[in-house]
Amino acid sequence: MNVMVAGGAGYIGSHAVKQLLDAGHKVVVIDNLFRGHRAAVDKRADFVQADMNDTDVVEKALREFQVDSVMHFAALAYVGESVEQPLDYYHRNTAGVISMLRAMQATGAKRLVFSSTCATYGEPETMPIVETMPQSPINPYGWSKLFVERILLDTVAADPEFGFVAPRYFNVAGCASDGSIGEDHKPETHLIPVILQAALGQREKVSIFGTDYPTPDGTCIRDYVHVEDLCNAHILALETLKPGDAKFYNLGIGKGYSVREVIESVKRVTGVDFKVVEGERRPGDPPTLYANADKVKAELGWEAKITEMDDIVASAWQWFKNNPNGYGE
């Protein structure tokens, strides 16, 4: 296939690009480099620096590279920032996809894998989370993705030749197993990289926000899916996508790790001790979130292969240890 990866210079997108190329697909990356890194883009891929909201440029790139399929990762993804700057999130995350869909409609590209999120579920009352649970986001980030899900359903209803898969995923973690690419966010908010930065001496301490949750050790529990497993699911979804498909899948490992468990894993893997301080809960942090991924296993044959926290951390540590300044751009 000729695949356009929107946001292919970002953390997840760059790993997807690598796997697509390894699988024999032709890839063009389109990214505005607002938070992505040109150095993260595999040299085998073509690259177009552009904003998703510039529909004419997106359409031109789709035509030039004869794109028949799109993987869309381009989005802002900081929950707190979305509360402070909701219009930016609706502009980039929601309107950006509308722009892509208009360009796809103009060029005849009919296949889309769209990066959605478990944030569309809000705060579910029971665990594990299944795809049929009510969706009630508690922040603009979640709403910006849920609005796209609705738009995609309406697009299929209007054009049965169009098809999409929207994976909803949980905490994505880890880095490429060969150490070639990794995670480089500024600012960094993901738990594992934050702890690894403490192990590298780049942070004075690691803070635990809340130790009185109704969990075995009192700290929040989350589902961590390795980025390579996640991207493998995207490629499976793309390669099996049919006209008229409108599918949603939870992507996770089906169990959770607590904040304390992640901290102890980092200490084991790195062999470094560092300061840990306990603080108050943050508003809006549910005690436990983890996925039921039975549907994607039944329909696509996918299940996570890297499920032990030490293995997830080890792949990330390899990248952070060898690239302490990230991509250095």
As a whole number of angstroms, the distance between CA 76 and CA 284 comes to 19
Residue in the structure block whose two tokens are 């780049």: 202
* Cβ proximity of 26 and 2 under 8 Å: yes
From 219, 245, 95, select the one nearest 161 (Cα to Cα): 245
* Cβ proximity of 254 and 292 under 8 Å: yes
* Cβ proximity of 179 and 129 under 8 Å: no
- Residue of 90, 121, 141, 169 marked catalytic: 141
**Angle subtended by helix axes 259-270 and 191-199, to nearest 10:** 40
Half-sphere exposure of 88 toward its Cβ, with a 13 Å CA cutoff?
A: 12
Question: Which tokens hold the place of 234?
Answer: 């995207």
Concatenate the DSSP letters of all residues of 208-234 into one string: EE-S-SSSTTSS-EE-EEEHHHHHHHH
User: Does the annotation count 213 as an active-site position?
Assistant: no
Catalytic residues: 141
